[in-house]
């Protein structure tokens, strides 16, 4: 029986993780759950799974939840609460699907407590990849990707040696605005971006998918997870989202991982790794799909992807600036306070303003993250 904590249990990935647990009650036991503020959903999950500990990031909401729960469940709050859920004694694996760089702190503490990590929170690696991977090695902890592309690469690499990798080929659906002209993109609205053709995702990642920033963050994530130079990570647009990513080896062999687009597959694999279990995910029928197509990403219409390559090439604290700026800008775009192209415009401005340095602690990164968020807010005034 694997004992799990789920950080972000009420979000899109969290709910799908809960479904997988429900389908495999003989395999998994939920010990802890954590969410930002959705206490109605948390209450349902407490009643169904009887976790030992529950964290609500929002302290007021935590109090309300505590007053409603008469189980033996311990209710905690704030970042300290998230850390408690992530480091609980009885937990074997922490699934982290918190949105944004705020997720890096509980991930870090979970690693120090020698918990394996099923990582859906890509911002953790974008911002703090160096420290996170160093600590994971030091503490003999596995970081198993939940991001579908990275899960694909991870699966392609089973039984292989990282030194034989020639290239990683990340596939991108191209997002909801793949075919939109630059002129129309200038006035593209957030609610159109939320209608993703293939993937059912949260709000933030849906916007990142529309700008291709998501793919840029994934390039950085892949660099850290697989210890590979970003020059050896290619992106190819594959609108059907059937091939979830590929690895090219030194002998020119290319291995791809395929399946119908469902986040339940990479979530389940991360939880069952190194074995596989039966799942409710529909089977891929290639004769029904018939056509798989591929095209180059358009960096002119989607400059965020190039900005992410630039940030990781500069290295140090620059990806932290790229990410912090993007998080603020996406939340502004979701409130219709800025336009689609303001996102790359201000990310680039922030990057130009920042002198990158080689960080040695999470505190330094938190400082940079705070600086860039304030800087963007001031610029937009
Ligand atoms: Mg992905």
Distance 156 CA to ligand 1 centre (A): 16
Distance 212 CA to ligand 1 centre (A): 11
Average pLDDT in the 245-258 region? 98
Distance 66 CA to ligand 1 centre (A): 35
Task: Give the pLDDT confidence of 41-72 residue by residue, as tens digits.
Answer: 999 999 999 999 999 999 999 999 999 997 68
Task: Give the pLDDT confidence of 332-366 residue by residue, as tens digits.
Answer: 999 999 999 999 999 999 999 999 999 999 999 99
Distance 217 CA to ligand 1 centre (A): 9
Flag whether pLDDT at 201 surpasses 80. Answer: no
Task: Give the pLDDT confidence of 170-198 residue by residue, as tens digits.
Answer: 999 999 999 999 999 999 999 999 987 77
Which residues have C-beta within 8 Å of that of residue 209, sequence separation ≥ 6?
A: 173, 175, 176, 193, 196, 199, 201
Q: Which pLDDT score, from 0 to 100, does residue 284 have? A: 98
CB 51 within 8 A of CB 7: no
Distance 381 CA to ligand 1 centre (A): 33
| Helix runs in 250-317, H state only | 264-272, 286-289, 303-314
CATH code for the part of the protein at 2-141: 3.40.50.720
Between CA 265 and CA 272, with CA 270 as vertex, the angle to 5 degrees is 90
Q: How far apart are the first and last CA of the chain?
A: 53
Average pLDDT in the 222-228 region? 97
Distance 69 CA to ligand 1 centre (A): 36
Distance 122 CA to ligand 1 centre (A): 9
CB 112 within 8 A of CB 104: no
Distance 298 CA to ligand 1 centre (A): 18
CA distances from 34 to 43, 56, 107, 286 (A): 11, 6, 13, 39
Average pLDDT in the 327-336 region? 97
Q: What is the dihedral of CA 134, 226, 118, 320, to 10 degrees?
A: 60
Distance 199 CA to ligand 1 centre (A): 10
Report the share of the chain in percent with pLDDT over 90: 95
CB 215 within 8 A of CB 171: no
Distance 177 CA to ligand 1 centre (A): 16
Distance 171 CA to ligand 1 centre (A): 9
Distance 52 CA to ligand 1 centre (A): 31
Distance 14 CA to ligand 1 centre (A): 15
Q: Which pLDDT score, from 0 to 100, does residue 72 have? A: 84
Q: At 163, list the tokens.
A: 């030194």
Distance 100 CA to ligand 1 centre (A): 14
Task: Give the pLDDT confidence of 144-173 residue by residue, as tens digits.
Answer: 999 999 999 999 999 999 899 999 999 999
Distance 172 CA to ligand 1 centre (A): 8
Biggest CA-to-CA distance, the chain:
62
- Rounded to the nearest angstrom, the gap between the alpha carbon of residue 265 and the centroid of all alpha carbons in its chain is 15
Confidence of residue 112 (pLDDT cuts 50, 70, 90): very high
Average pLDDT in the 97-126 region? 95
Q: If you ran DSSP here, which 8-state letter would residue 295 be given?
A: B
Distance 146 CA to ligand 1 centre (A): 8
Distance 375 CA to ligand 1 centre (A): 28
CA dist., res. 40 & res. 35, Å (int): 11
Distance 218 CA to ligand 1 centre (A): 7
Flag whether pLDDT at 104 surpasses 90. Answer: yes
Task: Give the pLDDT confidence of 255-304 residue by residue, as tens digits.
Answer: 999 999 999 999 999 999 999 999 999 999 999 999 999 999 999 999 99
Distance 147 CA to ligand 1 centre (A): 5
Distance 237 CA to ligand 1 centre (A): 13
Name the average pLDDT for the chain: 96
Distance 89 CA to ligand 1 centre (A): 30
Distance 330 CA to ligand 1 centre (A): 17
Q: Please tell me the class of the 315-381 domain.
A: mainly alpha
Flag whether pLDDT at 200 surpasses 70. Answer: no
Distance 118 CA to ligand 1 centre (A): 14
CB 113 within 8 A of CB 135: no
For the chain, the domains span: 2-141, 150-261+283-313, 315-381
Average pLDDT in the 110-138 region? 97
Residue in the structure block whose two tokens are 């609610």: 191
Confidence of residue 202 (pLDDT cuts 50, 70, 90): confident
Given this chain, do its domains 2-141 and 315-381 carry the same CATH topology? no
pTM of structure = 0.96
Distance 62 CA to ligand 1 centre (A): 31
């Amino acid at each position: 029986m694997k004992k799990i904590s789920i950080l972000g249990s009420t979000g899109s990935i969290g709910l799908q993780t809960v479904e997988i647990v429900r389908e495999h009650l003989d395999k998994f036991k939920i010990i802890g759950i954590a969410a930002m503020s959705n206490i109605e959903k948390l209450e349902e999950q407490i009643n169904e799974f009887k976790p030992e500990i529950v964290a609500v990031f929002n302290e007021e909401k935590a109090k309300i939840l505590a007053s409603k729960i008469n189980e033996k469940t311990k209710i905690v709050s704030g970042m300290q609460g998230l850390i408690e859920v992530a480091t609980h004694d009885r937990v074997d694996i922490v699934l982290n699907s918190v949105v944004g760089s705020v997720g890096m702190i509980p991930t870090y503490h979970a690693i120090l407590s020698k918990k394996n990590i099923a990582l859906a929170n890509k911002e953790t690696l974008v911002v703090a990849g160096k420290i996170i991977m160093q600590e994971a090695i030091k503490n003999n902890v596995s970081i198993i990707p939940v991001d579908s592309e990275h899960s694909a690469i991870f699966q392609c690499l089973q039984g292989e040696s990282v030194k034989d990798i020639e290239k990683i080929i990340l596939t991108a659906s191209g997002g909801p605005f793949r075919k939109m002209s630059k002129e129309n993109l200038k006035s593209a609205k957030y609610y159109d971006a939320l209608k993703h053709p293939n993937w059912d995702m949260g709000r933030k990642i849906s916007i990142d998918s529309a700008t291709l920033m998501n793919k840029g963050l994934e390039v950085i994530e892949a660099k850290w997870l697989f210890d590979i130079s970003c020059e050896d990570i290619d992106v190819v647009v594959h609108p059907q989202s059937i091939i979830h990513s590929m690895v090219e080896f030194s002998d020119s062999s290319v291995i791809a991982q395929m399946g119908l687009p469902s986040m339940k597959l990479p979530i389940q694999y991360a939880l069952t790794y190194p074995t596989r279990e039966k799942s409710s995910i529909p089977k891929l029928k290639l004769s029904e799909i018939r056509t798989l197509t591929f095209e180059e990403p358009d960096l002119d219409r989607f400059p965020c992807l190039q900005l992410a390559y630039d940030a990781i090439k500069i290295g140090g604290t620059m990806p932290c600036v790229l990410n912090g700026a993007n998080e603020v800008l996406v939340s502004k775009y979701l409130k219709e306070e800025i336009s689609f192209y303001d996102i790359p415009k201000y990310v680039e401005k922030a990057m130009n303003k920042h002198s990158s340095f080689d960080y040695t602690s999470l505190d330094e990164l938190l400082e940079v993250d705070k600086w860039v968020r304030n800087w963007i807010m001031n610029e937009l005034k």
